[in-house]
C-alpha cells in the first residue's frame, strides 16, 4: 500500500531521491503524410505515428528530473505549484509536480487557466502498481480544484510507456513538435509530444 501526500518545496530533496528513468524498447516514428498516396484528412498534409522497435534497447535516465526544480527550487516562483509524494512505509516511491500561472514558464502558454504536469515519476520497482495512476489523478483533482480548464503534459516519442499511460488516462495527443530538442545534441532526434486533458 502507499499514500499520496502534498509536500512543500522545502522537501524537494526527498522528492529528488526518486530516480527518473525509463527503458526505451521502441519509439513512435513520426512520418509526414504530405503527398503520400492514400493519405486521408483535410488540408495540405499531416503527421502519422507508428511504433517501431529500436535496434538496441537502452535506459534513458533524466539527469535532472522536474527540470532541475529539486536542485534549485528558487528557479521559479512556485507559489501556484503543487508537489505530491507517494510514500510506502514512509519511503518515497513516486512523485508528481503540477505548475500553473507562473510568469516565464513557456509551456504554460501565458495562460492563467492551464495546468502543466511538470513531472511525474515512479520508482522502477513500483511501476505498474497503481502509483502513477494515483499521482496523475491527484494532479487532476488539484487542477480542477483550482478551477483550471486544461492539463498539459510534455513527453517524447522515445517514451512509449508514458504515451500509452497518458492515453489510458483520457488525454489526447494534440501537439507534435519534431525539432523541439535540436539544440541539445543528446536528444536532438527526439520528438516532443504534447498531451492535453480537458478538466
Residue range of the domain that includes 99 = 3-22+56-198
Does residue 50 form part of some domain? no
pLDDT (tens, 9 = 90+) of the chain, 199 residues, equals: 899 999 998 888 899 889 888 899 999 999 876 655 555 555 556 778 899 999 999 999 875 444 556 656 677 899 999 999 999 998 999 999 999 999 989 999 999 999 999 999 999 899 999 999 999 999 999 999 999 999 999 999 999 999 999 999 999 999 999 999 999 898 899 999 999 999 9
Structural domains counted in the chain: 1
Residue 141 falls within a domain, yes or no? yes
User: Is residue 29, in this structure, part of any structural domain at all?
Assistant: no
Would you give the DSSP letter of residue 62?
-
Domain contains 36: no
Nearest to 71 by CA among 4, 133, 17: 17
Q: Are strands 150-156 and 114-122 parallel, antiparallel or unpaired?
A: parallel
pTM: 0.90
Within-domain flag for 145: yes
Whether 103 is covered by a domain: the verdict is yes
Q: Any idea what the CATH number is for the domain that residue 78 is in? A: 3.40.630.30
User: Does residue 147 sit in helix, strand or coil?
Assistant: coil
Kindly state whether residue 91 falls inside one of the protein's structural domains.
Answer: yes
**Quick one: how far is CA 4 from the chain centroid?**
18
Q: Is residue 96 part of a domain?
A: yes
Amino acid at each position: 500500500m502507499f499514500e499520496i501526500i502534498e509536500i512543500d518545496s522545502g522537501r524537494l530533496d526527498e522528492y529528488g531521491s526518486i530516480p527518473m528513468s525509463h527503458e526505451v524498447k521502441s519509439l513512435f516514428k513520426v512520418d509526414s503524410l504530405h503527398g503520400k498516396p492514400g493519405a486521408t484528412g483535410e488540408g495540405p498534409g499531416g503527421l502519422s505515428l507508428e511504433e517501431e522497435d529500436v535496434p538496441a534497447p537502452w535506459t534513458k535516465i533524466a539527469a535532472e528530473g522536474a527540470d532541475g526544480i529539486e536542485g534549485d527550487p528558487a528557479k521559479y516562483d512556485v507559489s501556484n505549484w503543487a508537489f505530491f509524494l507517494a510514500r510506502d512505509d514512509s519511503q518515497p516511491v513516486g512523485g508528481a509536480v503540477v505548475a500553473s500561472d507562473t510568469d516565464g514558464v513557456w509551456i504554460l502558454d501565458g495562460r492563467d487557466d492551464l495546468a502543466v504536469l511538470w513531472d511525474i515519476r515512479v520508482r522502477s520497482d513500483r511501476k505498474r502498481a497503481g502509483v502513477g495512476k494515483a499521482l496523475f489523478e491527484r494532479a487532476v483533482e488539484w487542477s480542477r480544484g483550482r478551477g483550471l480548464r486544461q492539463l498539459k503534459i510534455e513527453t517524447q516519442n522515445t517514451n512509449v510507456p508514458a504515451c500509452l499511460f497518458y492515453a489510458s488516462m483520457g488525454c489526447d495527443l494534440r501537439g507534435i513538435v519534431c525539432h523541439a530538442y535540436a539544440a541539445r545534441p543528446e536528444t536532438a532526434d527526439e520528438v516532443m509530444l504534447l498531451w492535453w486533458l480537458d478538466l
